[in-house]
Amino acid sequence: MAITIKTAEEIEKMRIAGKLAADVLEMIEPYVKQGVSTDELDKICHDFIVDEQNAIPAPLNYRGFPKSICTSVNHQVCHGIPGKKKLKKGDVINIDITVIKDGYHGDTSKMFFVGEPAPHVKRLIEATYESLRRAISIVKPGTRLGDIGSLIQKYVEAKNYSVVREYCGHGIGLNFHEDPQIVHYGKAGTGEELVEGMTFTIEPMVNLGKRHIKLLGDQWTVVTKDHKASAQWEHTILVTANGFEVLTLRSDEDPVLQAS
């Protein structure tokens, strides 16, 4: 599929979808506590998206995915399926929200702490967020995809973490996953150049141990092969004339991400 450049009207719809996805992450925060099951989080998000936002939870039935959100706990890398299991103290969880509003998608995820995580896991999560923040900061027309991948890879590998290769960011719009693929490793100065009006996600998955992953028997949940922790954060980004706009920005985030 070719890369789509969004028109002004489409960008306005992407802004709305992005804001709704970010709002779901803000809404769910107080519920992410010891003793809650990931199924309960799924139901709260589902009902909020459908009843309050009049939007559609994109994961539900996407390629057969059975729930409305993805919940990936501890050594789960991504695409965890909500279930009966309850969160316990010290767990960390990625909640990945994608909503469809007026045909357009907004896709974003963040890490939540249940109680206080182990310090080494907290550092992994903070470094993963910082790699995303830095990658966003170089987004502008003319930046190449390899510049983004290389920045993330260098930043996290310098801390002895590893980057998951099998899953990547993606163009987004009328479709959940559009071209181009935004990989989180690579070589600066290579790859496609960003163009004003592109919308895509950056969503690095960073492992505490080795980069290798495996797929569980449910055919969705991705886990680290060595069962060490993994972290992920995701934003949907618009390339503007001089830089970027984070379409899924939350109110708790760094003002550096607010504009460029």
Contact set with ligand MF3 (CB under 6 A): 59, 62-63, 65, 70, 79, 96, 98, 107, 201, 203, 220, 234
Determine the angle formed by the axes of helices 8-28 and 38-47, rounding to 10 degrees: 140
DSSP assignment, residue 51?
I
| Backbone torsion region of residue 61, taken as left when φ is above 0, otherwise alpha when ψ lies between -120 and 50, otherwise beta | left
Instruction: Give the binding range for Co ion (CB under 5 A) out of 23-31, 34-42, 90-98, 111-119.
Output: 90-98
Instruction: Give the binding range for Co ion (CB under 5 A) out of 5-13, 126-134, 159-167, 231-239.
Output: 231-239
Residue 93 interacts, among ligand MF3, Co ion, none and using kind-specific CB cut-offs from 5 to 8 Å, with: none
Smaller CB distance to Co ion: residue 178 or 189?
A: 178
Residue nearest to ligand MF3 (CB): 59
> What is the C-alpha separation between 129 and 132, in angstroms, rounded?
5
The four Cα atoms 119, 120, 126, 128 give a dihedral, to 10 degrees, of: -160
Q: Is 107 in the site for Co ion (CB under 5 A)?
A: yes
The CB density around residue 176, as the number of other CB atoms within 10 Å, is: 17
Smaller CB distance to Co ion: residue 15 or 170?
A: 170
Query: For residues 223 and 118, is the Cβ–Cβ distance under 8 A?
Result: no
Smaller CB distance to ligand MF3: residue 11 or 81?
A: 81
The least CB distance from residue 205 to Co ion, in Å, is 11
Q: Is 201 in the site for Co ion (CB under 5 A)?
A: yes
Which residue has 């719809």 as its token pair?
Answer: 13
What is the bridge-based pairing of β-strands 235-239 and 104-113? Answer: unpaired
Query: For residues 151 and 196, is the Cβ–Cβ distance under 8 A?
Result: no
Instruction: Give the binding range for Co ion (CB under 5 A) out of 29-37, 206-214, 233-241, 249-257.
Output: 233-241
Q: Is 178 in the site for Co ion (CB under 5 A)?
A: no
> What is the C-alpha separation between 50 and 55, in angstroms, rounded?
5
Smaller CB distance to ligand MF3: residue 98 or 131?
A: 98
Q: Which amino acid would we find at residue 115?
A: G
Q: Is 96 in the site for Co ion (CB under 5 A)?
A: yes
Residue 62 interacts, among Co ion, ligand MF3, none and using kind-specific CB cut-offs from 5 to 8 Å, with: ligand MF3
Binding site for Co ion (CB under 5 A): 96, 107, 201, 234
